[in-house]
Amino acid sequence: MSPFGAAIFDMDGLLVDSEPLWHDAEVEVLGALGVPISEGDPRRTKGIFVREVTRYWHDRFPWEGPSTDDVATRIVDRVIDLVGEKGRLQPGVDTAISLCRDHGLALALASSSEYRLISFVLERFGLASHFAFAHSAEDEPYGKPHPAVFLTTAARLGVAPDRCLVWEDAPAGVLAAKAARMTCVAVPAPGERDAPAFAIADAVLFSLSEADEDLWRRLVAVRGDVEETGSREPSGSG
């Protein structure tokens, strides 16, 4: 019997190269309101629910006029436009999905994005059929790094959290997965591998293209160590 019953995939940055597009949208929309972020700045709010993003910036650089929720809507509208124009699948998406399906795992998507963006991405790239459902932090009181979005997804799948395998690209997502007591494979963006959160991931890849049987065996071994000792040592590639 497999130690895993389900695989839960993040979306932005992991399946689709949309994180730069999120940054562009935030620079455009928030910049017009006087928030001092620019194209060269790192995206400090990566992986966080968009309505929490706008509250984060409003707390630091208050603007007059539209509410934080209205600004969040503008950002998502712009991201949808940009994904339609420039979005592309990340390398190895089919490889990672196939690995999980070959081992009999149920698949779901758990994202910090709103449902309308999730639906657009899944349709745009033909991914919807791979997942039993998609769950958004839009339905949760807190987004990542809070574990709620992953815990709810596990409950809907009928799989215990400690038998779920999470695939993430963002530090906030890794923190959320580990807080939920799930095994986590991290695929950091170039230049972000040194983020402290990735040290607690169970495997760190350069690309989803590395999702092979060797990785599966390592994850099974890590899961076995947890069952025997109640603790685990992170493993990484490269």
Residue 230 pLDDT more than 60?
A: no
User: Which superfamily, per CATH, for 6-17+89-229?
Assistant: HAD superfamily/HAD-like (3.40.50.1000)
214 is a catalytic site residue: no
Collapsing DSSP to helix, strand or coil, 231 comes out as coil
The answer to whether 21 and 83 are in contact (CB under 8 A) is yes
Where is 155: in which H helix or E strand?
A: helix 148-157
Residue 125 pLDDT more than 50?
A: yes
How much is the pLDDT for 156? 98
State how far the alpha carbon of 187 is from the alpha carbons of 74, 168, 173, in Å: 28, 6, 11
Amino acid at 181: R
Which residues of the chain form CATH 3.40.50.1000?
6-17+89-229
- Can you tell me the mean pLDDT for 214-225? 92
Residue 50 pLDDT more than 70?
A: yes
How much is the pLDDT for 31? 94
DSSP state of 68: H
Which residue is catalytic, options 12, 41, 69, 202? 12
10 is a catalytic site residue: yes
- Can you tell me the mean pLDDT for 53-65? 95
Mean pLDDT of the chain: 92
- Select from 211, 212, 157 the least CA-distant residue to 180: 157
CATH class of 19-86: mainly alpha
**Residues 6+ away with beta carbon under 8 Å from 42:** none
Which residues of the chain form CATH 1.10.150.240?
19-86
